[in-house]
Amino acid sequence: MKSALDKKNYQKWLVDKCIYEDCSLTIDLVCGMTSDEKQNIDLGGGIEIKGVYAVEPKGERYRVYFDDVVLLQAFDECAHKSTDLEHRDEGVIGQYTSSSLLNYVRKETLLIDIVPGELMHFEVMTGDDWFHVITREEPIVSAIENS
């Protein structure tokens, strides 16, 4: 699914806020900006990383809104298999044309029997988290004004 988020690589987007409530999912994303100078980052407990360029959430902001969420799965971006992308549209938000998660929902749950309508599988990729969303509605992407 093409969106305004595609002007940056998915790894540049960071989750600012994520709210799941009443079968709706709102993911607020902010573009991470790399600092101009190297710095030392204190991780606490006596652990410090020296001489790195920090990525700070200072760029553009967008909201991704899913209404009518049937199933939500979120996990760390590094836990994803590269072969999982074979049947996925390009972009930060992609729709799967073939999906083992959607097949699982159809075969192993009662959701297909109690939720009328055609189900779709979308994925939102960010630099830290990936969200798999089974829904009957395409997501809405909108800019958030910086305050």
pLDDT by residue (tens digit) across 59-111?
A: 899 999 999 999 999 987 666 666 566 788 899 999 999 888 999 998 999 88
Report yes or no on 129 lying in a domain.
Answer: yes
pLDDT number for residue 29: 97
User: Can you read off the two tokens belonging to residue 141?
Assistant: 């992407």
The total number of structural domains in the chain stands at 1
Using the predicted structure, report yes or no on whether residue 24 has a pLDDT greater than 90: yes
pTM over 0.75: yes
Phi–psi pair at 79, nearest 5 degrees: -90, 15
Report yes or no on 44 lying in a domain.
Answer: no
Cα–Cα distance for residue pair 78/126, rounded to 1 Å: 11
Report yes or no on 26 lying in a domain.
Answer: yes
As a dihedral over the C-alpha atoms of residue 119, residue 121, residue 124, residue 129, rounded to 10 degrees, the angle is: 110
The residue ranges of DSSP E strands in the chain, in sequence order, are 13-21, 24-34, 39-44, 47-52, 55-66, 69-76, 93-95, 120-125, 129-135, 140-144
In one-letter notation, the amino acid at residue 86 is E
Report yes or no on 45 lying in a domain.
Answer: no
Report yes or no on 46 lying in a domain.
Answer: no
User: Can you read off the two tokens belonging to residue 84?
Assistant: 């999982």
pLDDT number for residue 83: 57
pLDDT number for residue 147: 58
Using the predicted structure, report yes or no on whether residue 120 has a pLDDT greater than 90: yes
pLDDT number for residue 114: 85
Q: How does DSSP classify residue 107?
A: H
25-70 pLDDT tens trace: 999 999 998 888 898 888 889 999 898 887 888 889 999 999 999 9
In one-letter notation, the amino acid at residue 39 is Q
Q: Which position has the token pair 């969106």?
A: 3
- 26: β partners: 19, 65
Show the domain range for 79. Answer: 4-39+53-142
